[in-house]
Structure 1
């Protein structure tokens, strides 16, 4: 059992269902955001499925698809591609040309240019250098089911789409790759060009 609150301090403020595992949160993210839309204040500009805080900055040619919430003082760089459901907290920076899919990104996190984050939960004060990837699918394997390794225990997710859970204050180097099912505890460091593959499986 992975307690997300132990890795991301304010996660319970976002969602308090303690029995949900990270990949289950991602699977239910559409419903979670639909409920959050009903509680948004007048500080958000809402256009169909997209809610953007009035203090947020969205540069030119950003594409939104699906349910998206962008929080206070956040920044979305030019030509970014956001495929909902997506929740972006306060003071988050998404760099130009980055793609975010079905993910949660908490406060004060920076995602540099040309990054991909798919089906992931990203904590507070994370820094992703340019070109880093949170992969969400095992394209190269015959068995595409994703397992995670946590506290020396292998946990079956029973899903084929899950990226990473990244704990607060972690650092991801340029062009690093987090393989599907990566769990990083608080203050983790991933070197530039490093591949994180926590669970080895036969192809």
Structure 2
């Protein structure tokens, strides 16, 4: 059984709790979250200058790191970027610029980040690539799961919504991953993928298009509603 997804399901307000990111002023401007990707750099440079020097160290060119965050010597930092409080940055993480990492998040070993927003308490812990993407509050990317942000023919990315395609006008667009999503190990989120909040993606999946909130993605032909049973 496949579950239909509407335009309303993929709106910014439906996918994310904007109170769980320092990027709320940027994201709230846009009906659809991918529209914010082109403004991340300018937003970081603007808000970074307003961050308190009592809380944040400014390192290099427009890189702001909260003083509670330890940066291992093997980490590569390129601005502009912001890493918020109590984030765990692990060895070998590679930040390529235009990146916001939220409070209490995990930026893991050998993970690469580029032009993306990571919400508070999100976990990208092992061998992941996050490019031109947004990862929601308390979402988790399983080991080696990645966001593929460029089509093989280099054409502009479209969001596939049932029988309708939405032209984004963007060449590089990875995935919009809503709050509380679990992406299984080794999965690929193809360009323009959108996953609704509280959904689960089976390991080794290749996801293309939109997955409705509260769904379990087993394959492109088997997406089922998640049933939560509360035990008394």
Aligned residue for 1:25, secondary structure, equals helix
Query: What is the TM-score of this pair, normalised by structure 2?
Result: 0.79
Deviations, residues 142-174 of structure 1 (Å, cap 9, x unaligned): x62100134764210111100111100000111
Flag the 1:147–1:16 CA change in 2: closer, same or farther, 3 A.
closer
Flag the 1:115–1:19 CA change in 2: closer, same or farther, 3 A.
closer
Distance 1:40 1:151 in 2: 42
The aligned counterpart of 2:12 is 4
Contact 2:188 2:204 in 1 (8 A): yes
The aligned counterpart of 1:100 is 113
Contact 2:115 2:131 in 1 (8 A): yes
Distance 1:34 1:41 in 2: 14
Distance 2:27 2:76 in 1: 30
Distance 1:174 1:50 in 2: 30
Which structure has the larger Rg?
A: 2
Flag the 1:27–1:16 CA change in 2: closer, same or farther, 3 A.
closer
Aligned residue for 1:78, secondary structure, equals coil
Structure 2: gaps spanning 5 or more residues: 1-6, 211-232
The aligned counterpart of 1:125 is 138
1:22 aligns with 2:33: yes
2:197 to 156, 181, 186: 186
Contact 1:3 1:18 in 2 (8 A): no
Alignment RMSD:
2.0
Distance apart, 1:17 and its partner CA: 4.4
Distance 1:55 1:80 in 2: 17
Distance 1:180 1:16 in 2: 20
Structure 1 segments of 4+ aligned residues over 6 angstroms from their partners: none
1:67 to 73, 80, 101: 80
1:77 aligns with 2:90: yes
1:54 to 54, 64, 67: 67
Deviations, residues 44-74 of structure 1 (Å, cap 9, x unaligned): 0111321000111222211011201000100
Deviations, residues 89-130 of structure 1 (Å, cap 9, x unaligned): 100001110101110000111112111010001110011111
Aligned residue for 1:180, secondary structure, equals coil
The aligned counterpart of 2:217 is none
Count of matched residue positions in the alignment of Structure 1 and Structure 2: 198
Compare 64-73 and 143-152 and name the one that shifted more: 143-152
Structure 1: gaps spanning 5 or more residues: none
Contact 2:139 2:179 in 1 (8 A): yes
1:171 aligns with 2:182: yes
Aligned residue for 2:172, secondary structure, equals coil
